[in-house]
Amino acid sequence: MNLKKIYKITIIFIFLASTIVYANNIDEEQIDLTQIKQELAEVSSNASNIPDINSRSAIVLERTTKSVLYGKNEYDVRKMASTTKIMTAIVVIENADLYSTVTISKKAAATGGSTLGISEGDKITVCDLLYGLLLKSGNDTAVALAEHVGGSIEGFADMMNEKAKSLNLVNTHFVTPHGLDNDNHYTTAYELALLTNYALQNQTFANFVETKNHTVTINGNPKSISNTNELLGNLNGVYGVKTGFTNGANRCLVTACKRDNLDIICVVLGADTKKFRTQDSIKLIEYAFKKYQMFDIEKIVNENFSKWKKENISKFKINKGITNNIDLEIPNINYKQYPIPKESINNISTLINCKYTFDAPLVENTTIGNLQVIINKDTVLNFDIVNKIGIEKKNCFNYLKDFLAKFFKYLTINF
């Protein structure tokens, strides 16, 4: 075999190898969502039973309280594929002018896999690149944004990791803005749900991920794109968020869904097929809404605390204090509603534990006990009870004043 043939074979091999590497996040599997929903109709009618799912890792997180309503290996470290782009987007949104124009580099244009289809030298706004990132799941747009905001992929990855650190995501690490397989690029279902919850608090991000179809402009020319999220517009209450697929991560899907006042994030990682990914997500979403409802926890806490305080306030004694009067409150009820299993609504109670005797001085906002919220004998919430006012210790003048008051009272009664 001559050198010319060897050279040609080598070029072909390199091309095929690069195609395989880049193609590992193009999920070409077709699903029939109508058929899936029909298959799950019977499952949904019994959705209060804990679902059996294919995904290796999953979680359902209630957004207001960050309560875990369902978990399967939710703290295990896993590859995350294009769900990475949730972090990519929020870092860009927080650090870039969305209406600035980006000129596409050779590196960004050459990035394969799932792409928007931009070429070297193309001009496109940051905003439209974000649409390409979050709807079309473009790896080319991810690189273009990373270069624009972070100067390079490495510089942008540093920004991603700094953001993860600020959000206390201790089991999450980023190497790329697109999520192609890398052993040092990982998260957990739990931390991905927390990241998504944070991102959705940004209305700009929320507007992107709830968009089903959009027309971007490249070099002044329109191009229509559609969201890869198969549940958006097809399942009641779904308003985002992001799909993902690589050979290493398998199929992944992050979904936000709200019905009435129950707002959840569902994450499935490592499903064998897109069909399983979709089925698992629907099962978990329906389970959460069938099983849980938001309960006015603030009302029951305040009612029971007020009743207890009225019955017990006279029991408190401050040894050597200038007063025996205390002013109690629960200062840290951070949310009004809390997700409760529907069958447990009538099994909610509170238990108050506290001391009744203290030695002066008593510092302002001293914790004197706690109130526990108990459901089916399990404590689910714990609130501190504090004394709002400081109570000073008596001095000689205070003792003299007390003596004189008692003396004159004695005189008034007896003479």
Nearest to 218 by CA among 100, 99, 129: 129
Told to judge if 85 belongs to the known catalytic residues of this protein, a careful annotator would answer yes
Which residue among the candidates 55, 57, 114, 137 is catalytic per the annotation?
Answer: 137
Told to judge if 82 belongs to the known catalytic residues of this protein, a careful annotator would answer yes
CA of residue 143 relative to chain centroid, distance: 25
Task: Report the helix count and the strand count for the chain, using DSSP H and E.
Answer: 13, 17
Determine how many CB atoms are found less than 10 A away from the CB of residue 377. 7
Q: How far apart are CA 114 and CA 103, in angstroms?
A: 20
Nearest to 364 by CA among 334, 332, 329: 329
DSSP string for 210-261: T-SEEEEEETTEEEEEE---TTTTTSTTEEEEEEEEETTTEEEEEEEEEETT
CB 145 within 8 A of CB 135: no
Take residue 413 and report the two structure tokens written for it: 């009664």
Which residue among the candidates 57, 82, 114, 281 is catalytic per the annotation?
Answer: 82
Which residue among the candidates 72, 79, 85, 242 is catalytic per the annotation?
Answer: 85
Q: How far apart are CA 246 and CA 29, in angstroms?
A: 13
Q: How far apart are CA 320 and CA 359, in angstroms?
A: 7
CB 293 within 8 A of CB 339: yes
Q: How far apart are CA 311 and CA 298, in angstroms?
A: 20
Residue holding tokens 């080319």?
140
Q: How far apart are CA 165 and CA 167, in angstroms?
A: 5
Give the residue numbers marked as catalytic. 82, 85, 137
